[in-house]
Amino acid sequence: MSVKLHVIHHDDHILVINKPGGLLSIPGKGPEKQDCVVARARSFFPDLPAQPAVHRLDLHTSGIMLLARTKHAHRHLVSQFQYRKVVKRYIAILDGSLAAEAGSIELAFRLDPENRPYQVLDPLNGKSGITLWHKLSEQNGRTRIEFTPLTGRTHQLRLHAAHDQGLGVPIVGDFLYGNGEDGDRMLLHSAFISFTHPGSSQTCEFTLEPPF
């Protein structure tokens, strides 16, 4: 894709990127999957460590993504994610209405190895995913919602939105769990992040409004 990578903030320790939807966070397997946030960031900041990504966003999710500029920063930030010290919030548009105004979802799920990357509920063998949510607005049969994930499982927000044991209303454009088609714009955006800066030990907060 030809969309320019936008750097929200950079210093000697971190990079904060506005990831466009449709761009991989990290490289995949094969030459056609080498274009990604990390590769593009490295073209501007060639001194990035071998593994600068401290988390990742789904291919079709847009918004704030955090990279480390040093090995020390990477260790520091990864530890914050592991111990749930990082606060993240996402904005999404759901393809339907919700009766409730707010709540929480906790479901255990895992990868379906015969249908990658699809995730399936599995209370016995799955890993628990926890999401807080509240409704922001509703218009024309669609709901604008804010998600605060307390865990970082693959496809967590998408599954929690779509599954009937979650909200039962998929994210607009989600072709895996909803009614979207491959190539549709999925309306899920990483809008806020808060963490401890690995250099200054100060709290850092970044907000980025969604493009929808």
pLDDT of residue 17: 98
| Position with higher pLDDT, 157 vs 185 | 157
Closest by CA position to 178, among listed 93, 112, 107, 110: 93
pLDDT tens per residue across span 38-49: 999 999 999 999
pLDDT of residue 97: 97
pLDDT tens per residue across span 138-147: 999 999 999 9
Cα separation, 176 vs 170, whole angstroms: 10
Is the pLDDT at 121 greater than 90? The verdict is: yes
For the chain, percent of residues with pLDDT exceeding 70: 98
Identify the three-state secondary structure at position 163: coil
pLDDT tens per residue across span 76-100: 999 999 999 999 999 999 999 999 9
**Mean pLDDT on 18-30:** 94
pLDDT of residue 168: 98
Is the pLDDT at 54 greater than 80? The verdict is: yes
Confidence of residue 180 (pLDDT cuts 50, 70, 90): confident
**Residue 58 is among the residues annotated as catalytic for this protein:** yes
11, 12, 35, 58: the catalytic one is: 58
Task: Tell me the residue type at 26.
Answer: I
pLDDT of residue 183: 65
Mean per-residue pLDDT of the chain: 95
Q: Where are the domains of the chain?
A: 6-86
pLDDT of residue 32: 86
Confidence of residue 182 (pLDDT cuts 50, 70, 90): low
Is the pLDDT at 184 greater than 90? The verdict is: no
Pick the CATH number of 6-86 from 3.40.50.1820, 3.30.70.980, 3.30.2350.10, 1.20.1440.120: 3.30.2350.10
∠ CA(128), CA(130), CA(132), 5° rounding?
170
Is the pLDDT at 2 greater than 70? The verdict is: no
First to last CA, the chain: 19
pLDDT of residue 154: 94
What is the pTM (predicted TM-score) of this model?
Answer: 0.95
Confidence of residue 31 (pLDDT cuts 50, 70, 90): confident
- The string of DSSP codes covering 81-132 is HHTT--EEEEEEEESS--SSSEEEEEEEEEE-TTSTT-EEE-TTTSEEEEEE
